[in-house]
Amino acid sequence: MMNSYKKEFVDFMLESQALKFGDFTLKSGRKSPFFMNAGAYVTGSQLRRLGEFYARAIHDKYGDDFDVLFGPAYKGIPIAVVTAAAYSDLYNKEIRYCSDRKEEKDHGADKGSFLGSKLQDGDRVIMIEDVTTSGKSMEETVPKVRGAADVEIKGLMVSLNRQEKGKSEQSALDEIKDLYGFDTAAIVAMDEVVEYLTEKNVIDDELAGRIAKYYEQYGAKK
């Protein structure tokens, strides 16, 4: 049974046009009947709600047992900021945010390769991203985070688990878990999205058939 906030999040993705159905060619070259674009969250109210959904999912999955939210540049930066703010509002717990810079800053009080809070020995970190299809951003950022201080990465939270094969037969989230040894999770998984939107008659038989066909070809092994 889906949590109510997951259903609300699916509705929110559609309202914000972050999730669209149609014919899309993905960066990977795959032809997909749906497309997820977290760049669609642009207004103050959308960003506030996005932060609340992430905060609830993180609290649900990881509890309060962490100190820092790390959002990889660039898309992860606003997500980490709004989620840290939402966590303070919802759970009255101060979480620091940190992001990496694509280019190192070599002047000023905040010079270096990170934005936000400095990572400190003993910090427990949650990585936070929009959607992971290939795991490429983790390849770049996990070594940076682990190299900055003696931290423990507790896990990764993304908005949508597309449940597609990554580089292997596994999903990108499962590959990341195996490769780096930390937990991975999503606010909602694509099978939950399809089930909920089919119940609501947003997904009709024709679209459901195209989605099923897509997953026959590209679905990850459980």
Cβ–Cβ < 8 Å for 78, 42: no
| Residue 172 structure tokens | 């990108």
Q: Is 61 a catalytic residue?
A: no
Tell me which of 102, 107, 221, 222 is the catalytic residue.
Answer: 107
Sequence letter at residue 16: S
97: its two tokens = 């945010």
Element containing residue 161 per DSSP (H, E): strand 152-161
Which of 31, 93, 105, 213 is the catalytic position?
A: 105
Q: Known catalytic residue: 107? A: yes
- Can you list the pairs that 115-121 forms with residues at least 24 positions away whose Cβ atoms lie under 8 Å? 115/73, 115/77, 116/80, 116/81, 117/68, 118/148, 118/149, 119/68, 119/70, 119/145, 119/148, 119/149, 119/151, 120/149, 120/151, 121/149, 121/150, 121/151
Evaluate whether 26 touches 133 at the Cβ level (below 8 Å). yes
Query: Distance (Å, rounded) from C-alpha 151 to C-alpha 141?
Result: 13
Cis before 214 (ω within 30): no
Q: Which residues are catalytic?
A: 105, 107
